[in-house]
Structure 1
Amino acid sequence: MTFYLYILYSKKLDKYYVGATQNIQKRLVSHLSNHQGFTARAKDWVVVYQETFQSKEAAYAREKQIKSWKSRKMILKLILENDNK
């Protein structure tokens, strides 16, 4: 099975959201729906970055690593490095 680490961006909030899932498109629909939580504050989330993993554990470990940075600057660097490939 394939799992993904993804980063969403909301222009309205000027914020990033980091998550992991098995189906990015289905998860994005969930983020854009009416629900409780951080992503409920905006309806303009777009996927700006993703990585592929062969296990759920690896995807969630990468999510935890990126969240531990607590750094917008490092997230932007990661996204920009990917854009330059």
Structure 2
Amino acid sequence: MFYFVYIIYSFENDIYYKGFSTRPLERLKEHNENLGRFTGNKGPWVLVFLQSFQEKKQALIRERKLKKYSKCQIQSLIQTPLNEIDKFKTNE
């Protein structure tokens, strides 16, 4: 099983949300259905960053660090090779 850290973005509200999940695409759907406490009624949301980990602990540590990132740091991170969105969509 893989563990994922993800970042979603709301164009309407110009905000990013960082999260953790074992099923990031299903989680994105939940965010867009207003099932998240922070993300409810702030979408629509799009997945802009995805990073996988083999250990849950690693993913949770990464998520905690990402939550401290500034908007500028997030935007830079999205452009790096750490972003596995294309790889993930190819493997589905």
RMSD over aligned Cα atoms = 1.5
| Whole-Å separation in 2 of the counterparts to 1:36 and 1:79 | 22
Counterpart amino acid of 1:15?
I
For residues 5-44 of structure 1, what are the structure 2 equivalents within 5 Å? 5-35=5-35, 37-44=37-44
Unpaired runs of at least 5, structure 1: none
**1:59 aligns to what SS in structure 2?**
helix
Ranges in structure 2 where 5+ consecutive residues have no aligned partner: 84-92
Provide the TM-score with structure 1 as the length reference: 0.86
1:29-71 per-residue CA deviation (whole Å, 9 max, x = no partner) reads 11111335211022310100100100111111100011123x1
Identity of aligned residues (%): 35
Which has a greater percent of helix? Answer: 1
1:9-44 Cα distance to aligned partner (Å, 9 max, x none): 000110000001000111111111133521102231
Q: CA–CA distance in 1 between the matches of 2:34 and 2:76?
A: 31
The residue type paired with residue 20 of structure 1 is F
**Number of residue pairs aligned between Structure 1 and Structure 2:** 82
Q: TM-score, normalised by structure 2?
A: 0.80
